[in-house]
Chains A and B, each alone.
Chain A
């Protein structure tokens, strides 16, 4: 039986703007187990990054507010912690790496300075030991000649190398969970393959749980055990990777899969596309948020926001017709 590591319950994170309240994350609940690879997929504005920021305690009032909810790490509610306690969790127990490795490193300090800062903050070691740990960390992420490179500045590294530094920094304190927010989106494909391969191996060796946030269904297909699909601040579907791809229950997931071009398929006549665009998070549509773009919408979809319902073991979907629709198309159904 997998042991839950992180439990998020009815999280709502809103931002107040001049135009109104942006409901970036609006009532989501999920659990990530120890050592699990958990994928969060969605398009821009779906709330996936705000979810991660909420977990890390990086939502800053007065603009942003966690309105309701609990976020428990091994039973301890992160939202009730003092800033002091939270800063020990952040970087120590949960670490995060971001999309853009250039802006997440400070350009005026060497990477050694930045690595040892994190280590000294979370571990009871001397400066010299911290440097040793940092060099070891750089070696673990396959940065050649780490003894020399540790005194280099971020601009002296390529994009892929900087992301390696970020991973080294994230893993330097052996966190229980690593949140990777679009870690490879800014990188070239061959570099992306290197970085994913590296994260996979390091997480395996250390038993670190990984929450991988991405817009790329291809990346999660091979990497994650479970996938959660988000749309306009809510969760629309959650299941094992296989079920998301081969036994899709939500029309949005289905549309997303259909819109993807596949390199291993000869050309099809036309790509399936979801009409329209995602709604404004200030003025969400009545009822189901996907309704205005959904081919299957009916009256009930306008009347009521569908709750995330349990369909089978480990498979949830938020659609009034989740059990009735047959959403298979040979476009992405493959006989394994």
Chain B
């Protein structure tokens, strides 16, 4: 995977084993009032200046509760939403033009470049019922990306579809069926097959197993791991379930109200979390083991997540933080994401390693 011989000459500097680098990404949605003269009266700050990188072949987890901006981030990365500002740098080869080490900023890429980029980056959605067109056969759904990009003849595409269905564990003979004839787990496999059709490098998995039953979840998670190995895939895994994330991710970023509050290698994050929000989040996750549950201490947060249209000043978590100095530094000054241990970044004025498991 690592191509050391041809280090990228492009600016800004990117390590050769980085596939995607997000710099100062901001996404705000305007709040408008009025019917004719839609006056902008404010904005929802869904993602506020976040930066992270995804290395080739790894799985980066983006976790947080509803409204923290994790899905918006993913959609900005794919430019399914137009970011307000920031850079999304992609370094990889673009098929057709042969392997290059060009760094492309997805945010400013023109239409044609973006279309080519789409082959490299695919997404699997949460709801396997809503993300497949009920009027299309499985063969049409899975081959649609190939049609859009004009790849192969009709006969070639059918062969590809059959191969893909087999790869994701479905019966290739079912290619002419419709989505409603499949169970939730099988539909999610169809969604995965569609995402694989163009042989992408990066796959964004937006809560891919949250709508599935436990026994089916395990099947799909195992499949995702097998595919990653087989096709050298890099995953951006969006989830709210911290147990699933620990199983599948190599590195994890925790988001709160549009900000990354902590980012670290998986085991470092789970064994020695430093941000008070990470502590609360982890301590809230139930563990399927009565003995462990009985001796655990929960950090119960007060109140609800504040509105992203009007986030708290200073540290956005200060209004619910059990250790905040507010009024004080926490309500006055926004903490920066600092590297407090190797590859372990935390945005807190009073970080502290705490065992919560």
A residues in contact (CB < 8 Å) with B:
43-44, 158, 160-161, 188-194, 197, 215-219, 221-222, 241-242, 245-246, 255-268, 270-275, 277-278, 332, 334, 336
Instruction: Determine the chain B residues whose CB is within 8 A of the CB of A274 once the complex forms.
Output: 215, 218-219
Instruction: Determine the chain B residues whose CB is within 8 A of the CB of A193 once the complex forms.
Output: 283-284, 298, 300-301
Q: Are A277 and B185 within 8 A (Cβ)?
A: yes
Known: A218-B286, A218-B293, A270-B222. 4 other contacts (CB 8 A): A158-B304, A189-B284, A260-B214, A278-B213
Instruction: Give the contacts of B51-67 with A (CB-CB under 8 A).
Output: 65-66
The contact string, 1 if C-beta is below 8 Å from chain A, for chain B 297-314, is 010110011000000000
Q: Are A334 and B292 within 8 A (Cβ)?
A: yes
Count of chain B residues with Cβ under 8 Å from any Cβ of A?
47
Residue B111 CB within 8 A of the other chain:
no
With beta carbons under 8 angstroms apart, the residue of B186, B218, B221, B270 that contacts A263 is: B270
Q: Which residue of A lies closest to B295 (CB)?
A: A336
The verdict on A190 contacting B284 (CB below 8 Å), with A222-B293, A259-B218, A273-B222 known, is yes
**13 A-B pairs with C-beta separation under 8 A:** A190-B284, A191-B65, A193-B284, A193-B300, A194-B301, A222-B286, A241-B290, A258-B218, A261-B217, A264-B270, A270-B222, A274-B215, A334-B292
Q: Are B281 and A190 within 8 A (Cβ)?
A: yes
The verdict on A217 contacting B288 (CB below 8 Å), with A161-B304, A277-B216 known, is yes
Q: Are B298 and A197 within 8 A (Cβ)?
A: yes
Complex Cα distance A192/B186, Å?
29
Q: Are B270 and A262 within 8 A (Cβ)?
A: no
Instruction: Determine the chain A residues whose CB is within 8 A of the CB of B242 once the complex forms.
Output: 189, 263
Minimum CB–CB distance for A270 against chain B, Å: 6
Minimum CB–CB distance for A127 against chain B, Å: 31
Residue B225 CB within 8 A of the other chain:
yes
Complex Cα distance A262/B213, Å?
16
The verdict on A190 contacting B215 (CB below 8 Å), with A263-B282, A266-B267 known, is no
Residue B357 CB within 8 A of the other chain:
yes
Complex Cα distance A245/B185, Å?
26
Q: Which residue of B lies closest to A243 (CB)?
A: B290
The verdict on A273 contacting B215 (CB below 8 Å), with A191-B304, A241-B290, A260-B288 known, is yes
The verdict on A190 contacting B65 (CB below 8 Å), with A197-B300, A270-B225 known, is yes
Instruction: Give the contacts of B231-252 with A (CB-CB under 8 A).
Output: 240-244, 246-247
Complex Cα distance A289/B150, Å?
47
The verdict on A259 contacting B65 (CB below 8 Å), with A245-B289, A270-B225 known, is no
Residue B183 CB within 8 A of the other chain:
yes
Q: Are A256 and B304 within 8 A (Cβ)?
A: no
Complex Cα distance A282/B213, Å?
20
Instruction: Determine the chain B residues whose CB is within 8 A of the CB of A275 once the complex forms.
Output: 219
Residue B294 CB within 8 A of the other chain:
yes
B residues in contact (CB < 8 Å) with A:
65-66, 183, 185-186, 213-219, 221-222, 225, 240-244, 246-247, 266-267, 270, 280-294, 296, 298, 300-301, 304-305, 357
Complex Cα distance A101/B216, Å?
26
Instruction: Determine the chain B residues whose CB is within 8 A of the CB of A266 once the complex forms.
Output: 267
Minimum CB–CB distance for A160 against chain B, Å: 6
Complex Cα distance A174/B242, Å?
36
Q: Are B285 and A189 within 8 A (Cβ)?
A: yes
With beta carbons under 8 angstroms apart, the residue of B214, B240, B287 that contacts A262 is: B287
Minimum CB–CB distance for B179 against chain A, Å: 15
Q: Are B243 and A221 within 8 A (Cβ)?
A: no
Minimum CB–CB distance for A243 against chain B, Å: 10
Q: Are B214 and A256 within 8 A (Cβ)?
A: yes
Complex Cα distance A242/B225, Å?
32
Instruction: Determine the chain A residues whose CB is within 8 A of the CB of B298 once the complex forms.
Output: 193, 197
Q: Which residue of B lies closest to A43 (CB)?
A: B213
Q: Are A263 and B284 within 8 A (Cβ)?
A: no
The verdict on A245 contacting B304 (CB below 8 Å), with A261-B221, A263-B243, A277-B216 known, is no
Complex Cα distance A262/B221, Å?
13
With beta carbons under 8 angstroms apart, the residue of A194, A218, A271, A336 that contacts B288 is: A218
Minimum CB–CB distance for B169 against chain A, Å: 10
Q: Are A263 and B357 within 8 A (Cβ)?
A: yes
Q: Are B215 and A192 within 8 A (Cβ)?
A: no
The verdict on A263 contacting B287 (CB below 8 Å), with A221-B293, A222-B294 known, is yes
Minimum CB–CB distance for A35 against chain B, Å: 19
Q: Are B289 and A273 within 8 A (Cβ)?
A: no
Complex Cα distance A280/B223, Å?
24
Minimum CB–CB distance for B207 against chain A, Å: 13
Q: Which residue of A lies closest to B291 (CB)?
A: A336
Complex Cα distance A69/B222, Å?
42
The verdict on A43 contacting B243 (CB below 8 Å), with A190-B284, A218-B286, A263-B287 known, is no
Complex Cα distance A277/B189, Å?
13
Minimum CB–CB distance for B324 against chain A, Å: 16
Q: Which residue of B lies closest to A270 (CB)?
A: B222
Minimum CB–CB distance for A306 against chain B, Å: 20
